[in-house]
Chain A
Amino acid sequence: MKRKMILYALLTLAAFVMFFPIMYAFSVSFMTSEDILSRRLLPSSPTLDNYRDVLVSVPILHYLMNSFIVASTATLGMLIVSALAAFIFAFIPFKGRQAVFLLFISTLLIPWEATMIPNFFTIQSLGWMNNYLALTIPFFALAFGTFLLRQHFKTVPQELYEAAQVEGLSNFQFFYKVVVPYAKTSFVTLGIFGFLTTWNMYLWPLLVTTNDTVRTVQIGLRRLQADEVATNWGLVMAGVILVIIPTLILLAAGQKQLQKGLAKGAIK
């Protein structure tokens, strides 16, 4: 009993510290500027003015839309491209497969930032500046995603593959009729992970967007902060809340899935 009390106390304290910044931002987004100046924790008279203002002053809905398009396209592409490669590594043996696999591993050692300068030139010469293509295509191939799916694909019993061979399934039929349904939870895991990371991208969109056409919400947030900081924190926080709500909901819904799936892909 005493142990339980201590645990709950620790848990609650930790939760408070961890969650404070988010709660505080939430609270500030409903405050008037007087409340903010007097450094209150909770709004004295909650107002939606900040939300109204932020929607009027910056095209935040447009940014959100862009982010949605970018994150979902990138996630979908990542799932397809990774799944195709993972299928080969899990099921189709050929001479030299190990070498190709090592090539995939080696990409894990290349930090994105080390390649961003030439990539920027590539995007420029492809004419992809201010284009969704620049924000999605480069992220389709992902070694981590390939490993994660491969680990899950490998849990498909070899017997199923053999049974499929005896029954006359082609490789592609086996892939989409058996492997994909069998490992669908791993697709959910990688999907959530992919969506979160692409939604939260910062440096790359900063480089390849120079106007609002495809600018994502993260960069929008930076501009909002840069423009408004001196005047109106409440408005900035309203923007922050609008940006984090989709991912927080996604995370809350898929947290169990992520926790199981990622640990598996990461370790084995």
Chain B
Amino acid sequence: MKQQAADILDTKTLTVQDAIDKYKVASTKTWWQKTGNYRIAFLYLLPSLLLFSVFMFYPMIYSLYLSFFFTDAQGTASAFVGWENYTYLFQSAAFRNSVGVTLLFVLYTVPSSVIIALFLALLANEKLRGIGLYRTIFASTLGMSVAASAVIWLFMFHPTAGILNAALTSINLPALSWLQDSTMALVSVAITTIWMNTGFSFLILLGGLQNIDEHLYESARIDGAGYFYRLRRITVPMLSPTLFFIITITFINSFQSFGQVDILTGGGPAEATNLIIYSIYKEAFIYYQFGPASAQAIILFGAVLLLTLLQFKFGEKKVHYQ
């Protein structure tokens, strides 16, 4: 019965499958012709995939592997120890200190970096004569290497020769021991880091601001909206994808700070600035403890992963995409 009904119906009810069954013409392309795109894709992607495999995926797995072993000074895994490297880490006061210091450091640097960069970007987005020069100055720290920046700040933080203490004493404030005091040292490293981060964040935020459609402001102005109203209702929502990106990047950068610690404090005083990367570096390349160092690296990886995912989960909702 059903079959009959289908036969009676006119072409209106021809389904895609019917059409294919009825009129499909077998392709005369050879296997070689059909796979053309695969070959091209493989060829073009090969360099990237190869390099990623050798310098990203393989070492990631090897780090994981090493984190379960004791190693000799050459880094050869000598004995499987299971979770021992991890349990050792979590019991070690030094490691817990390092994690705490890193978190505190992130707290010091991320919000202030972003707020300062946003402030600068808003200022530099005004249409004024000579604004180009200001923009170049604000972006300049992007061109500053970590070594150069840290050396300059090291000199400025210098207890006796440093200009910062000179400034403090000149206005009758007590001189600070910027890098020698264990609380102050982390703050000093943070200041240096914020200063270094600003250039990049500023540039990206400025780019984001300039992508906002001018008409939005014009119509708001016609409606009589004031500066701060426009900032809150237009600028920040429209800028939110850029802000979101910058927050994520700054977060990750903070986690990965190394050079400034190495030059400014060497992790001291009393491990007060022993950020996680610096701790990994010392463990691996100074004490040759590759097993525990790898375990730390894996924990770092996990933390970065978790943070990124969390940011995407919670950040995404509040972000206004165009």
Q: Judge A-B direct contact (beta carbons within 8 Å).
A: yes
- Size of interface on B: residues with Cβ below 8 Å to A: 92
Given A141-B48, A196-B142, A266-B204, answer yes or no on A24-B152 (Cβ-Cβ < 8 Å): yes
CB of A221 to closest CB in B, whole Å: 4
Pairwise interchain contact A118-B145, C-beta atoms closer than 8 A: no
- Is A45 positioned at the interface, with any CB of B under 8 Å from its CB? no
Q: For window 217-243 of chain A, which residues contact chain B by CB distance below 8 Å?
A: 218-219, 221-222, 225, 229, 233, 236-237, 240, 243
State the main secondary structure of chain A at its contact with B.
helix
Q: Do A255 and B139 touch across chains, with their CB atoms under 8 A apart?
A: yes
In the assembled complex, the Cα of A107 lies from the Cα of B81 at a distance in Å of 28
Are B45 and A39 interface neighbours, CB within 8 A? no
Q: Please indicate the chain A residues that have their CB under 8 angstroms from the CB of B161 in the complex.
A: 36-37, 39, 233
**Contact status B284-A117, CB under 8 Å:** yes
B217 adjacent to chain A (CB < 8 Å): no
Whole-angstrom CA separation of A113 from B38 in the bound complex: 34
Chain B binding surface, main DSSP class? helix
Q: When chains A and B are docked, how far (Å) is the Cα of A159 from the Cα of B281?
A: 52
Contact of A185 with B by CB under 8 A: no
Assuming the A-B contacts A107-B52, A113-B277, are A244 and B144 also in contact, with contact meaning beta carbons closer than 8 angstroms in the complex? yes
Known: A110-B301, A115-B55. A243 touches B148 (CB 8 A): yes
Chain B contacts for A263, CB-based, 8 A: 204, 206-208, 210-211, 242
Is the interface on chain A under 10, 10 to 19, 20 to 34, or 35 or more residues? 35 or more
Query: In the complex, what distance in Å separates the CA atom of A75 from the CA atom of B170?
Result: 47
User: B203 contacts the other chain (Cβ, under 8 Å)?
Assistant: yes
B19 on the interface (CB 8 Å rule)?
no
A96 to B: closest C-beta gap in Å = 9
Cβ of A161 within 8 Å of any chain B Cβ, yes or no, is no
List residues of chain A with CB within 8 A of the CB of B255.
Answer: 111
Bound-complex Cα distance A10 to B125 (A): 13
| A82 within 8 Å of B (CB atoms) | yes
How far does the alpha carbon of A7 sit from the alpha carbon of B241 in the complex, in Å?
A: 26
8 Å CB contact of B120 from A14, A28, A233, A258: A14
A contact set with B: CB distance below 8 Å? 4, 7-8, 10-11, 14-15, 18-19, 21-22, 24-25, 28, 36-37, 39, 41, 80-82, 84-85, 87-88, 92-94, 97, 100, 103-104, 107, 109-122, 137-138, 140-141, 146, 171, 196, 199-200, 202-203, 206-207, 218-219, 221-222, 225, 229, 233, 236-237, 240, 243-244, 247-248, 250-252, 255, 258-260, 262-264, 266-267
A-B residue pairs in contact (CB < 8 Å), sample of 19? A14-B120, A22-B152, A81-B47, A81-B51, A88-B44, A92-B44, A109-B304, A111-B252, A111-B301, A114-B63, A115-B60, A118-B66, A140-B47, A200-B144, A244-B145, A247-B143, A252-B140, A263-B206, A266-B242
